[in-house]
Amino acid sequence: MEAEVIPAILVKTRGELLHRISQVRGLVKEIQIDIMDGVFVPNKTIGLEELMDLPEAVYEFHWMVEDPEKWIIRMKGPHMHLVHVETLQSAGSLGEVEAAVRKSGGRLGFALNPETPIEKLLPFVPQAKRVLVMTVRPGFSGQKYIYEMEHKVRKLRQLFPSLDIEVDGGVNNETATHAYSSGANLLAAASAIFVAKDIKGAIADLKKRAMEGCSHER
């Protein structure tokens, strides 16, 4: 599967959000927006009101929030909604999330924190269009990539050969190679893109380095 780079935006104001969207819109197939409520993770970002009437694009909303269905239902369109399995306490809560995604017109994916065993994710995969393996502890950008999470990616790729598998956290020109060689075909990156002087070039470099992982063994 060919590697795709997904710019990840973690900001606290609508102005910052719109600026970063403008920097990458048209350069990639999807744009990730990180949403944190200060409860599920120890940080708070933009809220629902700042997400209204965004520029036209396909977005991947990474919901690092409690009760994600209450947020998802407000975001209409063919977007990807990544919900943390850690927030799904019962089959009923999964049903509520699935209903919210259907009503929004979006697609459902699941995310997994570093400390959560992969076994907790596996029962949800049949309902997923995508899974995301966190390669940092969620909450803040600029953290170092946790190489130990690659065993989860390898296991998922072994069990689900055609599944879209994404990694998020610490992705740069070095770690992209390792992530892709482990089985991740989607690479969410923030600092590696937005601190670059040439954003288009940075995205191309990440994809090129990832594809070099085809023959790379860690």
| 164 included as an active-site residue | no
Backbone angles phi, psi at 99, to 5 degrees: -65, -40
User: Angle at CA 96, nearest 5°, toward 115 and 61?
Assistant: 60
Its sign, for the CA torsion 154, 29, 84, 45, is: positive
Which residue is catalytic, options 53, 168, 198, 205? Answer: 168
| 205 included as an active-site residue | no
Which residue is catalytic, options 34, 37, 53, 198? Answer: 34
Number of Cβ atoms within 10 Å of the Cβ of 100: 22
Q: Give the CA diameter of the chain.
A: 47
Q: Which residues are catalytic?
A: 34, 168
